[in-house]
């Protein structure tokens, strides 16, 4: 192999052996550029290698560091695969390979790349890259003895951590959360609508607590108790509506007829009080109010029994 520099490239004449034992020279040009050419330990650099051979030649660059170079722990490290680029003109083929390295020792460091293989027809030649290297400079001062180390830092003292405030705070948060959830449950329970029977019982108790009969307002007591009964029947019996008149309510009360005995007389008497201004004595007002409450109780028992065993109710009705 003969080398000469020309136009930034090194002219390398490869003379491989032919089948007849004679050497057939292959004109090859090799170019190399290392950026930066001087680095520090651990600094990355790029080596761009370019080989020009006759047109039609096959140029193969090494993809990894030579095994002999990789055996040294502080040898330059190849990072990733090289980036290849091929340019062909009328007379030659040029292939460029860009390698990325990191150096780990000071002084001249060979790249550790194996030879480039060039094939032209049946001839094969090799371009050596053994001389390609980078210079790694040290970052230490010229006389390391002049380096004055920093004084040792004081030992780190780990103080015991007081967990009590955090535990107390966590306990307070848990208690506050529990109280809040209890308050929300209570509010929802209070705002939850009552079933028709419970609502009627609450209204009956409220009206009786007003003591209207003792105050000489027996007619108002009987009318209010009757209205509570009508609202209950409208809520519990599907056929009855609040807007129904007493006659319509009686006509649609067939399903609860056995339980609501005396409903017709009660509705007739309270209609006279509400619409005809009929006066009643205190005992009659008390009796009408008690009758309204009794109708509600009987109807509720009847409906609950029918829900438990509809067959029993059918037999009783028959």
- Measured CA distances, 293 to 79, 170, 232, 244, 302 (Å): 95, 53, 10, 20, 14
Q: What pLDDT is recorded for position 145?
A: 61
Please state, rounded to an integer, the average pLDDT across all residues of the chain.
81
Q: What pLDDT is recorded for position 143?
A: 63
**Cα–Cα distance between 269 and 204 in angstroms, integer?**
18
CB–CB of 135/108 below 8 Å?
yes
Domain 2-131 sits in CATH at 2.60.40
The mean pLDDT values, 10 residues at a time, for the chain of 318 residues are 40 43 69 87 89 89 79 81 89 90 87 88 85 84 67 83 90 94 83 81 90 89 90 88 86 81 85 86 88 89 80 46
**Cα–Cα distance between 58 and 88 in angstroms, integer?**
11
- In tens, the pLDDT along 125-137 reads 888 888 888 898 8
Q: 74-93 as b/e, with b when 16 or more CB fall inside 10 Å?
A: ebbbbeeebeeeeeeeeebb
Q: 3-20 as b/e, with b when 16 or more CB fall inside 10 Å?
A: eeeeeebbebebebeeee
- Global pTM reads 0.41
Strand partners, 14: 26
Strand partners, 2: 13
Kindly tell me the burial class for residue 134, based on how many C-beta atoms sit within 10 Å of its own C-beta (0-12, 13-18, 19 or more). Answer: buried
Q: What pLDDT is recorded for position 15?
A: 43
Q: What pLDDT is recorded for position 307?
A: 81
Q: Which residue has the tokens 């040792």?
A: 152
As given in the structure block, the two tokens for residue 172 are: 């307070």
CB–CB of 46/99 below 8 Å?
yes
- List the beta strands (DSSP E) in the chain: 2-6, 9-14, 26-35, 38-40, 44-54, 58-60, 77-78, 83-88, 92-102, 107-110, 116-120, 123-127, 133-137
Q: What pLDDT is recorded for position 167?
A: 92
As given in the structure block, the two tokens for residue 49 are: 């290698």
Question: So where are the chain's domains?
Answer: 2-131, 196-317
């Amino acid at each position: 192999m003969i080398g000469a520099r020309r136009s930034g490239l090194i002219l390398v004449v490869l003379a491989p052996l032919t089948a007849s034992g004679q050497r057939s020279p292959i004109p090859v040009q090799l170019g190399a550029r290392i950026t930066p050419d001087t680095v520090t330990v651990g600094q990355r650099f790029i080596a761009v290698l370019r080989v020009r051979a006759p047109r039609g030649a096959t140029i193969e660059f090494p993809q990894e560091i030579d095994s002999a170079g990789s055996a040294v722990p502080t040898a330059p490290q190849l990072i990733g695969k090289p980036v290849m680029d091929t340019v062909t003109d009328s007379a030659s083929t040029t292939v460029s390979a860009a390698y990325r390295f990191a150096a780990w020792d000071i002084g001249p460091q060979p790249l550790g790349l194996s030879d480039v293989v060039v094939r032209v027809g049946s001839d094969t030649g090799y371009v050596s890259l053994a001389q390609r290297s980078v210079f790694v400079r040290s970052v230490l001062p010229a006389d390391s003895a002049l380096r004055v180390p920093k004084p040792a830092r004081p030992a780190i003292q780990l103080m015991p951590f007081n967990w009590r405030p955090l535990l107390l705070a966590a306990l307070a948060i848990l208690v506050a959360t529990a109280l809040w959830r209890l308050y929300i449950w209570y509010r929802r329970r209070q705002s939850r609508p009552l079933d028709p029977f419970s609502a009627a019982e609450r209204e009956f108790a409220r009206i009786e607590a007003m003591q209207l009969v003792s105050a000489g307002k027996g007619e108002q007591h009987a009318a209010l108790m009757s209205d509570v009964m009508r609202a209950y029947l409208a809520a519990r019996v599907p056929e009855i509506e609040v807007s129904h008149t007493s006659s319509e309510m009686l006509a649609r009360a067939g399903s609860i007829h056995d339980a609501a005995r005396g409903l017709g007389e009660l509705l007739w008497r309270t209609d006279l009080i509400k619409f005809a201004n009929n006066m009643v004595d205190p005992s009659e007002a008390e009796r009408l109010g008690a009758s309204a409450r009794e109708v509600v109780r009987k109807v509720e028992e009847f409906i609950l029994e029918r829900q438990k065993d509809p067959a029993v109710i059918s037999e009783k009705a028959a």
